[in-house]
A and B are shown apart, each in its own frame.
Chain A
């Protein structure tokens, strides 16, 4: 009798003592707890908002916004919906991020490489640059470029001009716009074809070198294709382009392309600031390649520029790319400082103005967080792909 009980008890105990069962049980409990946690937050918020008479839901996205936006990449007016406001803000954020990342990368690589210059002055300048811009708060730099530098430019009627086609004043930078007529799409198409041809040429040249050891002047030929093909097409099509020059009419310049000072200030600040960090990443990457590699390359007779492109850079990239990833992500997040100077990015027009006009804080903040999350996940994904392509390939 007593043995039976003991056997039963031990079998029940063994169920609970079974590590698999216990693991699953705890996971299930945790999952349930988490689910309940979020459910209670959401339902409480909804209940309380309703009790207080605060509107909720996403209907506002389909109502007219009633305000205008300084810079829009797609057609937008006060009669457009809040949904369009979201799109306009999103595109402006993407624009400043891409331009910022481009210039930060160029600047960062130049400054980073300058550190290894044999010229004393250039090396020092690189150090001074990094230490200065890395150590000043970004918001202050944004204000500096906007309120100190760009705001002190002359007024529209006293614009600085370059050959009377490019104008710079306190309202922004005015560039002539290239307007394509009939047949312009064929010219654009020829540029795409040229790029494709270059990619193909590079692959072919590499294969040929691997097989025969003969080198092919890829750089020069590429340049020839890139310039030649579109130019020939351009003249065959009878130059289907006209210039739209900015002109001073009434209060402001009209026509051409306007680069607003808010965009300039933000792009400059973001590029200069992030460039300092990228320069450090580049320096770290190059320094991570042992000097013996250079010496070994010299001993087999490679020229200095080939040592750089074939030996140093491929190995340095393994260190640089993961660092670049986080710098790019920081740049995207830092672009929300746009709100301080009124550049109409997603944060300014959506979390700022739209939130204030509709009062729907939870929906708007949630949507905006989701956007930055998706943008940064995309950057991360692309950079990880790139990283995989430069990473050390080990024998399997």
Chain B
């Protein structure tokens, strides 16, 4: 009988371990750490420096959520994941939030048990070729071999694009961004295709960045954003509004330098954001100064952009469509009220 009952107990234990579903907020608070899935290394978005410190546009989303929930942007445990590992890691509860240049698509939103918490970078897929090749347009790539990262939307868009234009190609797939670059550099493929932002990041990582050029064609829409598990609306809201707070702060003119001053002397909308008026934090299940912590410790979206991928970084990407709506971009955050 002992055997039997212990088997049942084991069965129940395994069964229950699939359960632990809701309550990510409590888990994170109890742990005192946010577990955040990032890339294995992509300049400007999530990269580790020599001291082991992570930085980047995607890393700043992790930091913002940690600042909002725990009051300290440094309390993040980063989990580097390949494109292939990322969703399983999130589904299984290994990470609390995935912030890893991930494209928001219908399949991922509907059938993987995930929710996209917004968009932190509007991207599109492009091509990088060696200048030696003398190619000026993606339409001249018939018969080319293309290096791509496995398990990405890039792989699907590429197939669509070549099929739509009646061209042939060979797909050479790699696991990580670094391997893809190595394949391109060795001449295994003629063209490297990825999201445009990544192409710039990969290009500056080449031994001779001037030997390669990015073609003008953008063949897809790639809204990149943070992802959380489906079925935990409280946590979904926190992720969503942490990102909104960064964008809204920029719109309202609040940045890391003036946040402390604005808290007391700002306009009503600024005060509502920073928690001196209204109860936005409480409604999220957080402290009143949740957004103040984000802006003062991480900065607003504009600061994060310039520091990581913009003019203040080696990537030098222009704001373009990632500018506020009133300046010609797509960023339009819902109001905090």
Contact = CB atoms under 8 A, between A and B. Distances in A.
Interface of A: 26, 29-30, 32-34, 36-37, 40-41, 43-45, 48-49, 51-55, 66-70, 77-79, 147, 151-152, 155-156, 170-171, 249-252, 254, 261-262, 339-340, 342, 344, 348, 352-353, 355-359, 361
A32 B19 CA distance: 24
A67 B229 contact: no
A34 B4 CA distance: 9
Contact of B8 (A30, A33, A249): A33
B143 A252 contact: yes
Contacts of A156: 187
Given A33-B4, A40-B12, A69-B171, A251 B155 contact: no
Contacts of A48: 18-19, 21
Given A342-B173, A356-B151, A359-B108, A52 B113 contact: yes
Contacts of B111: 53-55, 358-359
Interface of B: 1, 3-4, 7-8, 10-12, 14-16, 18-19, 21, 83-84, 87-88, 91, 107-108, 110-113, 133, 141-145, 150-152, 155-156, 158-160, 163, 169-175, 179, 182-183, 186-188, 190, 229-231
Given A48-B19, A52-B229, A342-B172, A361 B88 contact: yes
B163 A78 contact: yes
Contacts of A49: 113
A51 B231 CA distance: 8
B160 A66 contact: yes
Given A68-B169, A342-B175, A29 B4 contact: yes
B8 A36 contact: yes
A352 B159 contact: no
List the 9 shortest-distance A-B pairs measured between CB atoms, nearest first: A356-B151, A78-B159, A54-B113, A44-B15, A151-B186, A33-B7, A359-B112, A55-B111, A52-B113
Looking at chain A's contact residues, the main secondary structure is helix
Contacts of A40: 11-12, 14-15
A66 B12 CA distance: 40
A359 B186 CA distance: 32
A353 B173 contact: yes
A325 to B, nearest CB: 32
B150 A356 contact: yes
19 contacts: A37-B8, A40-B11, A44-B19, A45-B18, A52-B21, A52-B91, A52-B230, A54-B112, A68-B159, A68-B170, A151-B187, A151-B188, A170-B187, A250-B142, A251-B145, A261-B188, A342-B183, A359-B87, A359-B113
B188 A171 contact: yes
A51 B21 contact: yes
Contacts of A26: 3
A78 B160 contact: yes
B33 to A, nearest CB: 23
A356 B174 contact: no
Contacts of B229: 52
A55 B87 CA distance: 13
Contacts of A355: 84, 88, 151
A67 B1 CA distance: 53
A56 to B, nearest CB: 9
Given A37-B7, A67-B155, A357 B18 contact: no
Given A33-B4, A51-B21, A340 B11 contact: no
A51 B19 CA distance: 10
Contacts of A254: 143
Contacts of A52: 21, 91, 113, 229-231
A261 B170 CA distance: 13
A67 B171 contact: yes
A250 B143 contact: yes
A41 B182 CA distance: 43
B91 to A, nearest CB: 7
Q: Determine which residue in A30, A45, A252 has the highest number of CB atoms from chain B within 10 A of its CB, and name it.
A: A252
Given A170-B187, A252-B143, A34 B159 contact: no
Contacts of A36: 7-8, 11
B162 to A, nearest CB: 8
Contacts of A66: 156, 159-160
A151 to B, nearest CB: 4
B230 A356 contact: no
Contact of B91 (A32, A41, A54): A54
B175 A340 contact: yes
Nearest to B133: A251
Contact of A29 (B3, B11, B163, B174): B3
Given A30-B4, A37-B14, A53-B111, 15 more contacts: A51-B231, A52-B231, A54-B112, A68-B158, A70-B170, A78-B163, A151-B188, A152-B186, A250-B143, A251-B133, A342-B172, A355-B151, A356-B151, A357-B107, A361-B88
A169 to B, nearest CB: 8
A49 B230 CA distance: 11
B95 to A, nearest CB: 15
Nearest to A45: B18
B108 A151 contact: no
A67 B171 CA distance: 9
Residue of B141, B143, B188 ringed by the most chain A CB atoms within 10 A: B188
A363 B183 CA distance: 32
A339 B179 CA distance: 12
A253 to B, nearest CB: 10
A342 B174 contact: yes
Contacts of A55: 111-112
A353 B112 CA distance: 15
Given A41-B15, A54-B113, A342-B150, A249 B171 contact: no
A348 B186 contact: no
Which of A48, A55, A151, A356 has the most B CB atoms < 10 Å from its CB?
A356
Contact of B151 (A33, A79, A251, A353): A353
Nearest to A32: B4
Contact of B172 (A70, A78, A250): A70
Contacts of A45: 18
